[in-house]
Amino acid sequence: MRSSRTAQAIAGLSGMVVYLPPFRVDLHKWCEWTGSDWEKIRQVVGTGFRMLGPGQSVYTMAANACMRLIDRYEVDPSRVRYLALGTESSTDNSAGAIIVKGMVDAALRSRGTPALARNCEVPEFKHACLGGIYALRGALRFLQSDGSDGMAIVVCTDKALYGRGSTGEPTQGAGAVAMLLESSPKLASIDLRLAGTASEYRGIDFRKPLIARACSNAEAASLDIPVYNGRYSTNCYIDEIHRALDDLYSRSALSPAAYLRSLEAVFMHRPYQRMPETGLGLAYLFALASGDSADRDELASYSRGAGLAVEEVIAEMQAEPELNQLAVQARIHEEVFPLSMTVLKAFRQSEAFSQQVLGKMTLGSEWMREVGNLYTGALPAWLAAGFADARQRGIELAGRELLAIGYGSGDAADAIPLKVVDGWQDAAARTGVETALEPAVELSADQYLALREGRQPKDLETRHAGEFTIDHIGSRSDRSFQDLGVEYYRYQP
């Protein structure tokens, strides 16, 4: 049960819009190009992903998403007093959200409409894939304090790019998600006093050091390609989500397993299809381990199915592994939760897994198979798709609780509950998720490689009507004038 809280207005979400670049890689065709197993890729990863095209950047995607949000929700720009940017792909180490504001202001003025408020705060948040959730927290705190009479926009924008031939290559993606937040939300309220959080330095789980690296192919060394370690990254994901959920349970005196069962839906950071299934599946098993006798009996049944003693499984779950100590070459591939992972395999075969894991993640999940990894935008995109899917299927969410679990490369995680408000369907109808995948320009193998390498693809169809693009990039660096590397933008009505 939730502990009692002092009654007060709770800010939250009033709108969401997803922007995806049109350039699509079909993963079935990608498997043919690379000799990969399509059936495995389809089940574990998804069916496609998007890439940035010529004249596009994380900043143009963010501005495009913001403009769509303003138009679809008929936002009065002069009331927007907080514009936060969440990204791990920013290319300017001085300016961030103000770049997006500048583009949006210019486009609004060209229409003869008010620009965003001059007294608008413009922070940028960076913490791997959790940067967007930290930006969301900042916006909610703004609305709960000195900004209650205004509006806030949070935009998450990223490109996910991995090395050729790596396990991460099929999990790439690009896109932006803009979120509208108000003191009187139209989609869902978010009480941060009930949210859980956790952080712990994990060294080399997922990093992007700015160094010149030798590349085995024609890719430029300056590409935004991460350093990561597969099994270690999965262990960090599992542990950090577990810690954030523990904080959520303790803040509200919740019974862990009962709480997870009570949720209408769960949305998680999803770099690919299978990862959130593993994360929520283990979170449920961890909840059983800390539950009452009935919960532990349920865990014991899955443990027996895996040929393990439940006491040993619980002991592993209650331990506090020092994952940073494993971040060395000799131990990086060790499985931190071997017994729990074995029990998860047995749990996957049960009806409870279908109900309490897969059943909690059905809303919007099919649409997300086409999106790819959006880093900071992955969780918000799934949430937007979930609202749109529920509305389209006639599922009533009003008064129900959802759970969003954000994650930032092993080092941090947030577990944030949302309560859907009455009349949410109108705001959900404006997300435009159903058409966000249109148009789609199917890339050939040569065009895919050209975009990766920063070359102009041959015969690539481009359409930018109603969007921001890069007009040119500055090249001067002399004593009278400097703009080397600075992007200049234009809006094409």
Model confidence pLDDT, tens digit, residues 156-189: 999 999 989 998 999 999 999 999 999 999 999 9
Q: Is residue 133 a part of any domain in this protein?
A: yes
Percent share of the chain, pLDDT over 70: 95
Q: Is residue 18 a part of any domain in this protein?
A: yes
Phi-psi region of 294 (alpha: psi -120 to 50; beta: other; left: phi over 0): alpha
pTM of the full structure = 0.94
pLDDT of residue 5: 47
pLDDT in tens, 351-386: 999 999 999 999 999 999 999 999 999 999 999 999
Mean pLDDT of all residues in 421-445? 95
pLDDT of residue 212: 46
Start-end of H helices in 378-468: 378-393, 424-429, 445-452
Q: Is residue 7 a part of any domain in this protein?
A: no
Spatial neighbors of 37 by CB under 8 A, at least 6 apart, are 31
Q: Is residue 138 a part of any domain in this protein?
A: yes
pLDDT in tens, 276-318: 999 999 999 999 999 999 999 999 999 999 999 999 999 999 9
Q: Encoding tokens for residue 422?
A: 């009455």
Q: Is residue 4 a part of any domain in this protein?
A: no
* pLDDT tier at 483, thresholds 50, 70, 90: very high
Percent share of the chain, pLDDT over 90: 81
pLDDT of residue 215: 46
Q: Is residue 436 a part of any domain in this protein?
A: yes
Query: In what order do the strands lie in the sheet containing 441-442?
Result: 48-51, 23-26, 441-442
Is 6's pLDDT higher than 50? Answer: no
Q: Is residue 417 a part of any domain in this protein?
A: yes
Q: What is the mean pLDDT of the chain?
A: 92
Q: Is residue 6 a part of any domain in this protein?
A: no
Spatial neighbors of 476 by CB under 8 A, at least 6 apart, are 482, 483, 484
* pLDDT tier at 210, thresholds 50, 70, 90: low
pLDDT in tens, 318-360: 998 888 877 776 788 888 999 999 999 999 999 999 999 999 9
Of 34-43, 70-79, 148-157, 407-416, the one with minimum mean pLDDT is 407-416
Q: Encoding tokens for residue 121?
A: 């705060």
Crossing angle of helices 293-305/274-289, nearest 10°? 130
Structural domain tally of the chain? 1
| Coil vs helix vs strand at 153 | strand
What range does the domain containing 344 cover? Answer: 12-492
Is 214's pLDDT higher than 80? Answer: no
Is 256's pLDDT higher than 90? Answer: yes
Spatial neighbors of 455 by CB under 8 A, at least 6 apart, are none
More confident residue, 439 or 418: 418
pLDDT of residue 409: 83
Q: Which residues pair with 12 in a beta bridge?
A: 182, 189
Report the distance separating Cα 88 and Cα 156, nearest Å. Answer: 9
| Coil vs helix vs strand at 263 | coil
pLDDT of residue 219: 46
CATH number at residue 383: 3.40.47.10
* pLDDT tier at 222, thresholds 50, 70, 90: very low
Q: Please give the single-letter amino acid code of residue 169.
A: E
Complete DSSP assignment for 159-222: EE---TTSTTGGG-EEEEEEEEEESS-SSEE--GGG-EEEE---TTSEE--------SSS--TT
Short-list 75, 234, 212, 207, CA closest to 152: 75
* pLDDT tier at 429, thresholds 50, 70, 90: very high
pLDDT of residue 332: 82
pLDDT in tens, 391-420: 999 999 999 999 999 999 868 999 999 999
pLDDT of residue 209: 76
pLDDT of residue 175: 98
